Chains A and B, each alone.
Chain A
């Protein structure tokens, strides 16, 4: 069994029906609808979780479940249920280490260098769809750490928003269980987390850099005010949107970013077919979308 940080505690068995060809079609359907791609080494995860949904809806075979996912009237609600299952366990601090490496070793240095030339010494990050706060706290800890080195003398702000009031309230508390903090590197743990009983509390020195608020990403008038960000994270949120809403929201994110800013999705989420404004860029083990100031070359024009 792969060593996988998104694995739930009870997910140790390989499902019996793993070899059923209908899973490939379900995998492709999930990608087509949501942009989330489950590579083969994560396939058992998709299958294991879809098996739980199969039981819940009473489908006997993956093929029957596929019918359930494609036929009205259930298809939209069932796809949502399946996506919920697939993304369970993805909320923990320091979830994607390749993304964090890309941020610290490529993105922050590049953004900071460009800003320094303009005599700016402040960075602004936005965690859009921050859920219960794991992502913005991770970002704030990383930025705090960078202000000891590369960003000495700089200030920064992390704006964290979510649609759900309860999530925002929970996020503001900054209290997590052992499962949510399992990926935090020991030196960060020591500096920024305090253990209180069975819980883990995020330090005030981290909290003070984050402003939490409720925001609906589909609210155009509110989205117009989100401007001037260097980096935006929006992980496993757009997967629930229909095509039109996705395109609209991506346009807002594009406008919210400064030139040369970066947009990060979940680690296996893609914008293919949704927006051509951003440039897909690769870092070791991670991808992101870049607001380049140059035009995107088209086929046939070198």
Chain B
């Protein structure tokens, strides 16, 4: 996208009244994430959950679902957080706060499909990061979760054209960003970058949002961009995409992101990609439960 179009898009997005505001609990959550895993403060998480009655109720409901219930039902937010584990609660908080960015009637695409894909990419990113010994799997998780945030922007700033792009992508069975480029003249990667800058999201995550479809020179975005790019592709190849068939063949070992990570992280060469792919069907189930719990209110 050229600078002039980008400039016009930026002013269009920043000036619009409907510019999504950063969710209230996102900042403290981002702050929690900056700390090493073992130092995450459980009490702080309980406090954040208690802020919002509907989220608190969801936590308790999920903790008491067949999947998580222990010996006795959880009745307090604290016991629900204990039984779900802080990371799962954080996942729930994230997806919940992000799903409240826009009113339910402004979605142009099915929000459950959107969140399944975003959460799926987040989980795959984190797992991938752990496998290759990338030092910050939680950052990878966050980058995965936010990578398509531009879709939300597009729903708000150009609902009609965006709807056309989605319909076009489904009809022609092409990637969403290709269809957006043709119909809108920009993609959710471009608008997502603008939102990320506006929200002051860390720049490496903003790079992942902007470059996840076309990573370009891998040195520019670094490992995080490559991780998000590959995880997004993998999810689209494993029933965690945008809900339509993309007739294509992906040769991961020959993707620029893969080749780049191979150089940076030698343990990449040990990955059993076939097994990892098969195990994604497990993620699909976990993600399905999570999204169902967010949207069942």
Assuming the contacts A270-B274, A271-B274, A282-B234, asked whether A297 and B281 have C-beta atoms less than 8 A apart, the reply is: no
Assuming the contacts A37-B279, A279-B254, A297-B253, asked whether A284 and B245 have C-beta atoms less than 8 A apart, the reply is: yes
Interfacial residues of chain A within 254-302, with CB under 8 A of chain B in the complex: 268, 270-273, 279-285, 287, 290, 292, 294, 296-297, 299-300, 302
- Least Cβ–Cβ distance between A298 and chain B, in angstroms: 8
Q: Across the interface, which residues of A come within 8 angstroms of B109, CB to CB?
A: none
B36 within 8 A of A: no
Q: Of B237, B253, B285, which contacts A40 at CB under 8 A?
A: B285
**B245 x A101 contact (CB < 8 A):** yes
Fill in one digit per residue for A96-135: 1 if any B CB lies within 8 Å of its CB, else 0. 0000010001110010000000000000000000000000
Fill in one digit per residue for B30-58: 1 if any A CB lies within 8 Å of its CB, else 0. 00000000000000000000000000000
Bound-state Cα–Cα, A119 to B229, Å: 38
- Least Cβ–Cβ distance between A256 and chain B, in angstroms: 21
Q: Across the interface, which residues of A come within 8 angstroms of B268, CB to CB?
A: 299
- Which residue in chain B gives the minimum CB-CB distance to A109? B247
Bound-state Cα–Cα, A300 to B264, Å: 8
Q: Across the interface, which residues of A come within 8 angstroms of B269, CB to CB?
A: 299
Fill in one digit per residue for B45-80: 1 if any A CB lies within 8 Å of its CB, else 0. 000000000000000000000000000000000000
- Which residue in chain B gives the minimum CB-CB distance to A269? B274
Q: Across the interface, which residues of A come within 8 angstroms of B236, CB to CB?
A: 284
Bound-state Cα–Cα, A297 to B251, Å: 12
**A282 x B278 contact (CB < 8 A):** no
**B253 x A296 contact (CB < 8 A):** yes
- Least Cβ–Cβ distance between B290 and chain A, in angstroms: 15
Q: Please count how many residues in chain B sit with their CB below 8 Å of the partner chain's CB atoms.
A: 36
**B246 x A280 contact (CB < 8 A):** no
Q: Across the interface, which residues of B come within 8 angstroms of A40, CB to CB?
A: 279, 281-282, 285
A226 within 8 A of B: no
Interface of B is mostly: helix
Bound-state Cα–Cα, A123 to B279, Å: 33
Q: Across the interface, which residues of A come within 8 angstroms of B273, CB to CB?
A: 272, 280
Q: Across the interface, which residues of B come within 8 angstroms of A287, CB to CB?
A: 274, 277
How many residue pairs, one in A and one in B, have C-beta atoms under 8 Å apart? 98
- Which residue in chain A gives the minimum CB-CB distance to B278? A37
- Least Cβ–Cβ distance between A277 and chain B, in angstroms: 13
Q: Of A39, A101, A272, A279, which contacts B251 at CB under 8 A?
A: A279
Q: Of A39, A270, A284, A297, which contacts B259 at CB under 8 A?
A: A297
Interfacial residues of chain B within 246-290, with CB under 8 A of chain A in the complex: 246-254, 259-260, 262-263, 266, 268-269, 272-275, 277-282, 284-285
Assuming the contacts A282-B237, A282-B277, A299-B266, asked whether A270 and B272 have C-beta atoms less than 8 A apart, the reply is: yes
Q: Using a CB–CB distance below 8 Å, which chain B residues touch chain A?
A: 233-234, 236-239, 241, 245-254, 259-260, 262-263, 266, 268-269, 272-275, 277-282, 284-285
What 7 A-B pairs are tightest by C-beta distance, nearest first? A270-B274, A40-B282, A105-B247, A39-B281, A299-B269, A282-B237, A37-B278
